[in-house]
């Protein structure tokens, strides 16, 4: 198994699976929790709040992971496309400009006019 496949599984699919598990657990809790006969009182509203919070956390985990996956995939495509284009050698003007970048230009006046 190569390193890219391991990184894909650990970086994308594992967090998405955990988010899906959190969402399924929150739905299951909301549907099956029995909170009617407690000495504290009626906790139905808290059941909804806890389920909605867990659902939100699972959704954010899945969406952020999917967004990071899409961004990485686009960057890989762009890097692959740029690596196919050969780099052009620098022109003589670019060479002179790069050599003069290290010089101190404080004593030069800006060009006059427009």
**Tens of pLDDT, residues 26-68:** 999 888 877 666 666 677 788 889 899 999 999 999 998 888 8
> Model's pTM, two decimal places?
0.59
In this structure, is residue 67 part of a structural domain? yes
Measure the CA–CA gap between 5 and 85, rounded to whole angstroms. Answer: 27
In this structure, is residue 19 part of a structural domain? yes
In this structure, is residue 27 part of a structural domain? yes
Show the tokens assigned to 23. Answer: 């969402």
In this structure, is residue 104 part of a structural domain? no
Chain-centroid distance of CA 43 in Å reads: 37
**Which structural domain range is residue 10 located in?**
3-82
For 76-112, what is each residue's pLDDT tens digit?
A: 888 888 776 555 666 667 666 666 655 555 555 666 6
User: How buried is residue 86: exposed, middle or buried, by Cβ count under 10 Å (0-12/13-18/19+)?
Assistant: exposed
Question: Which of 86, 18, 90, 9 minimizes the C-alpha distance to 54?
Answer: 18
Angle, CA of 40, 45 and 50, to the nearest 5°: 100
Q: How many structural domains does the chain have?
A: 1
Q: What is the pLDDT of residue 22?
A: 94
Measure the CA–CA gap between 29 and 24, rounded to whole angstroms. Answer: 9
DSSP classification of residue 46 = H
């Amino acid at each position: 198994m190569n390193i890219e496949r391991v990184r894909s599984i650990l970086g994308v699919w594992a967090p998405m699976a955990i988010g899906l598990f959190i969402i399924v657990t929150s739905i299951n809790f909301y549907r099956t929790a029995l909170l009617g006969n407690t000495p504290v009182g009626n906790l139905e509203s808290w059941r909804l709040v806890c389920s909605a919070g867990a659902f939100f956390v699972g959704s954010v985990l899945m969406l952020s992971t999917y967004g990071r996956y899409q961004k990485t995939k686009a960057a890989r495509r762009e890097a692959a496309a740029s690596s196919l284009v050969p780099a052009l050698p620098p022109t003589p003007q670019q060479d002179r400009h790069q050599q003069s970048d290290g010089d101190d230009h404080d004593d030069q006046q800006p060009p006059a006019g427009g």
